[in-house]
């Protein structure tokens, strides 16, 4: 199984917390983007990527248009890219096809157009339902607008809708955070991603923090919010299936599950990352590669499909890939299948050191082990999710 990611590198504005590669377009801006030109470049890259022996064999189970703000892209051009993907790869008939949207570039008509070109899932960046908080986060929409957009798209047949929230803003109480989640659940969203506000280097918030000029929320309150959201959404029948994700059973983001299970992904578009398994006879001993495309849209469009599009490639050995599986797998409520990872990567999980560290984690209740049909499954119980990094690092 593999997935395919398409990066769309433009937004109407750059949010101060966002560390994804995106460029703000001027004014209303939609016209300044070369919709067709970018689609052409992506299509050219698809031809190259599908020519790759490993990728070429991959069956694509999910497609994700991320960004940036891919809801800015004309549905016609996005549809052309989708058609190109289907032509270049073996895409499952029931593939999950998601487009990331901002409330300011989404309405019912656009949603319908997207659905008509083959999209079956929307992920809407709501982030908050409070105008002050939205302003703080640099979002261009307001509470009313966000609610209106969601209400107009949530019941479109053939479209699943997910909403994003950010909690842990300074001065935000757990009640406020919980109320945002409640209102999204009330609308009837079947999937929600609730992220703690993270300050990344290289962002506006990051710069402010570096100079000590960014007020931060108290850890205790952030934790309260995390727990309050969990309590609310769980009670509404959305399962907390990953540290930051909730879904009604069967409505999980399959694309993201692929990342967390260590499955390969084709990345196309400016600054996109891709991850492929190396052929088994790779001379350098690498089991996989992660590449990153040229991050400047103009250069990307100019050079594609030249080899320069794969600007950086990181070889990954089996041990490194195992560490990634640990880091990612333990993010999920279902955890990781250690035995499957060992078989797949040809490595031993239970080294002397890891056995010792695991015993300690098991004893502390930080990790749970289930033996199922000969397989060893490890997961972090929900009450220890707040220390998931420490747990993963110990098992590295």
Distance CA 198, CA 209 (A): 11
**Site string (273-312) toward another protein, x via CB under 8 A:** xxx--------------x-x--------------------
CB 366 to another protein: min, Å: 9
One of 34, 54, 131, 196 touching another protein (CB under 8 A):
196
Task: At 98, list the tokens.
Answer: 């998601």
Shortest separation between residue 196's beta carbon and another protein, angstroms: 4
Q: How far apart are CA 276 and CA 290, in angstroms?
A: 7
Give least dist CB 28 to another protein, A: 28
Name beta bridge partners: 242.
245, 332
- Tell whether the torsion through CA atoms of 130, 134, 135 and 136 is positive or negative: positive
Contact between 22 and another protein (CB under 8 A)?
no
- Smallest distance, another protein to C-beta of residue 98, A: 12
What value, to the nearest 5°, has the Cα angle with vertex 32 and ends 304 and 126? 95
Spatial separation of the C-alpha atoms in residues 154 and 187, rounded to whole Å:
8
- Which of these ranges, 131-139, 266-274, 340-348, 369-377, lies near another protein under the rule CB under 8 A? 266-274
Closer residue to another protein in complex, CB, 154/345: 345
Shortest Cβ 374–another protein spacing (Å): 28
**Shortest CB 9 distance to another protein, Å:** 12
Q: Does 243 bind another protein (CB under 8 A)?
A: yes
Please identify, among the stretches 137-145, 180-188, 272-280, 343-351, the one whose residues bind another protein according to the rule CB under 8 A. Answer: 272-280
Q: Is 386 in the site for another protein (CB under 8 A)?
A: yes
Which among 276, 247, 265 is positioned nearest to 334, based on CA atoms? 247
Q: Using the rule CB under 8 A, which residue among 38, 65, 259, 300 binds another protein?
A: 259
Contact flag: residue 327 with another protein (CB under 8 A) = yes
CB nearer to another protein: pick between 129 and 197: 197
Q: Are 138 and 16 in contact (CB under 8 A)?
A: yes
Please tell me whether residue 277 adopts helix, strand or coil conformation: strand
Interface with another protein: number of residues (CB under 8 A): 41
Question: Is the dihedral angle over the CA atoms 186, 184, 253, 157 positive or is it negative?
Answer: positive
- How far apart are CB 286 and another protein at their closest, in Å? 14
Give the DSSP letter of residue 68.
Answer: S
Tell whether residue 396 is a contact of another protein (CB under 8 A). Answer: yes
Beta carbons of 254 and 27 less than 8 angstroms apart: no
Cβ count within 10 A of residue 246: 29
Interface pick for another protein out of 55, 241, 265, 349 (rule CB under 8 A): 265
Shortest separation between residue 390's beta carbon and another protein, angstroms = 5
- Distance from C-alpha of 100 to C-alpha of 72, rounded to nearest angstrom: 10
Q: How far is the CB of 166 from another protein (least distance, A)?
A: 9
Contact of 290 with 277, CB cutoff 8 Å: no
Q: Is 391 exposed, middle or buried (0-12, 13-18, 19+ CB in 10 A)?
A: buried
Residues 211-230, interacting with another protein (CB under 8 A): 219-220, 222-223
The answer to the question of residue 267 lying near another protein (CB under 8 A) is: yes
Using CB under 8 A, pick the residue from 2, 5, 78, 309 that binds another protein: 5
Specify the residue, 99 or 154, whose C-beta has the smaller distance to another protein.
Answer: 99
Give start and end residues of each alpha helix (H) in 295-349.
297-303, 318-329, 338-345
| Cβ contacts of 279 within 8 Å, gap of 6 or more | 53, 54
Give whichever of 2 and 338 is closer to another protein, judged by the CB atom. Answer: 2
* Spatial distance between the Cα atoms of 194 and 245, rounded to a whole number of angstroms: 6
User: 353: part of which helix (H) or strand (E)?
Assistant: helix 352-363
Return residues touching another protein (CB under 8 A).
Answer: 5, 20, 195-198, 219-220, 222-223, 243-244, 256, 259-260, 265, 267, 271-275, 290, 292, 314, 320, 323-324, 327-328, 331, 385-390, 392-394, 396
């Amino acid at each position: 199984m593999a997935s395919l990611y398409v990066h769309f590198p433009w937004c109407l504005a750059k949010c101060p917390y966002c560390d994804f590669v995106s460029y703000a377009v001027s004014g209303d801006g939609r016209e300044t983007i070369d919709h067709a030109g970018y689609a052409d470049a992506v299509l050219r890259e698809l031809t190259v990527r599908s020519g790759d022996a490993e990728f070429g064999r991959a069956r694509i189970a999910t497609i994700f248009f991320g960004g940036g703000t891919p809801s800015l892209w004309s549905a016609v051009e996005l549809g052309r890219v989708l058609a190109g993907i289907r032509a270049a790869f073996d895409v499952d008939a029931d593939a999950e096809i998601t487009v990331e949207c901002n409330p300011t570039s989404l309405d019912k008509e656009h949603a319908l157009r997207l659905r008509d070109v083959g999209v079956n899932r929307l992920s809407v960046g709501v982030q908050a339902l409070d105008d002050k908080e939205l302003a703080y986060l640099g979002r261009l929409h307001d509470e009313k607008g966000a609610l209106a957009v969601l209400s107009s798209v949530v019941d479109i047949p053939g479209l699943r809708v997910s909403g994003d929230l950010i909690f842990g803003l300074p001065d935000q109480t757990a009640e406020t955070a919980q109320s945002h989640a409640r209102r999204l659940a009330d609308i009837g969203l079947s999937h929600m991603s609730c992220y703690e506000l993270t300050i990344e280097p290289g962002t506006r918030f990051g710069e402010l923090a570096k100079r000590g000029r960014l007020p931060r929320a108290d850890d205790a309150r952030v934790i309260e919010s995390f727990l309050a959201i969990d309590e609310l959404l769980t009670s509404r029948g959305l399962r907390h299936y990953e540290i930051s994700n909730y879904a009604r059973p069967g409505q999980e983001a399959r694309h993201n599950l692929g990342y967390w299970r260590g499955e390969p992904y084709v990345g196309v578009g400016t600054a996109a990352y891709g991850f492929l398994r190396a052929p088994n006879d790779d001379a350098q001993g690498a089991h996989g590669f992660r590449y990153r495309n040229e991050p400047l849209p103009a250069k990307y469009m100019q050079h594609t499909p030249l080899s320069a599009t794969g600007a950086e490639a990181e070889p990954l050995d089996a041990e490194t890939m195992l560490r990634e599986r640990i880091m990612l797998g333990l993010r999920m409520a279902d955890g990781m299948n250690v035995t499957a990872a060992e078989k797949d990567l040809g490595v031993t999980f239970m080294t002397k050191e890891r056995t010792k560290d695991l015993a300690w984690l098991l004893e502390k209740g930080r990790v749970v082990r289930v033996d199922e049909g000969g397989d060893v499954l490890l997961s972090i119980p929900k009450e220890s999710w707040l220390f998931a990094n420490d747990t993963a690092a110990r098992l590295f």
